[in-house]
Structure 1
Amino acid sequence: MTDQRKYAEWEHGRLFRNGRVVQAPPAGTVSRSAGSADPMAERPPMSLALVQRGRERFEIFCTPCHGRSGDGNGIVVQRGFPHPPDYAAPRLVNAPDRYFYDVITNGHGAMYSYADRVPPKDRWAITAYIRALQRSRAS
């Protein structure tokens, strides 16, 4: 494998039908590079559809650790994994929406990045659902 022929980007290659070595990225590709060119840099307007989508995505990706109510007592935690914070904690209630989006994107503490699993629109939807969970648990 170390002695494979490699194409230079300006060469003609027989690997693809169009003969080009450098190919355009597939539709829907999300850039992993940091920068302000993020098309989802701003949260979409709050709506029932956004919260419902967020609940669906939250139940798929977040409940194993964070639990259905966001208390941080998911099934993975019950089996010995580190306990994530409760979303009702004042620090998280007062955090800006962008904080949750960034944690989903980049990870935090024991939580790894979900950037390759959760598209940007769904990160905002999960954030909206977290806000709904926080409001439902407020005393």
Structure 2
Amino acid sequence: MSRLPLIVVLAALLADCDQNMDVQPRYGEYSRAPLFRGSVLRRPPENTIARDDLERENVAGTKPALSAELLARGRVRFGIFCSPCHGAGGDGTGIIVQRGMPRPTSYHDDRLRAADDQYFFDVITNGHGAMYSYASRVPPGARWAIVAYIRALQLSRHASLDDVPADERAKLENSP
């Protein structure tokens, strides 16, 4: 019976030690923290690389080979991210223009037809003019797919019969 008061006192002491992260002091992102002698936001150590940054950089720097799968993916991504402004045909008559926003340049403009693929990739990544950056929304592989689809759109309006391979041209010429 003499152990009962000791057990009750120990149980009361242990119940009082239930402090966890819920009752710790919280600092706002830009507030000062006495522990760090400055802002709560800490710089990462030098020469650190965020997870998947190397892989993302490799994909961004390597243009994939043109394929039907790449164009199909580009068409889907273009429809999601680009057509609201640029329109389904890339002529700059998307739904936002109908709602009063500025009209983007048509992809069929001579200046954009002469631009290299890296230019389109960089504009998707960093934005340009009224267009904001899509770097956080569109991964690099999908950006290259969109660039390939933009080139297909440009070719669809400005192609000549000489651009068609000889065997396919014969089929076109012999069709009724």
Name the one with the larger helix percent.
Answer: 2
Runs of 4+ in 1 over 2 A off after TM superposition: 1-8, 21-26, 28-31
Match in the other structure for 1:15 = none
Match in the other structure for 1:95 = 115
Which one has more relative contact order, counting CA pairs under 8 Å at least 6 apart? 1
Q: Deviation at 1:43?
A: 1.2
Partner Cα separation in structure 1 for residue 35 and residue 107 of structure 2: 50
Match in the other structure for 1:114 = 134
Percent identity, aligned pairs only, is: 53
Cα deviation digits, residues 55-78 of structure 1 (max 9, x gap): 000000001000000000000111
Cα deviation digits, residues 70-116 of structure 1 (max 9, x gap): 00000011101110001111101110000000000000000000000
The amino acid that maps onto 2:148 is: A
Partner of 2:57: helix, strand, or coil?
A: coil
Is 1:51 the equivalent of 2:71? yes
Q: Deviation at 1:38?
A: 2.6
The answer for unaligned runs of 5 or more in structure 2 is: 1-26, 38-43, 160-176
TM-score by length of 2: 0.61
Match in the other structure for 1:132 = 152
Q: How many pairs align? A: 121
Cα deviation digits, residues 11-55 of structure 1 (max 9, x gap): xxxxxxxxxx989845x4589xxxxx9312131111111111000
The answer for unaligned runs of 5 or more in structure 1 is: 9-20, 32-36
Partner Cα separation in structure 2 for residue 120 and residue 6 of structure 1: 39
Calculate the aligned-residue CA RMSD, in Å. 2.6
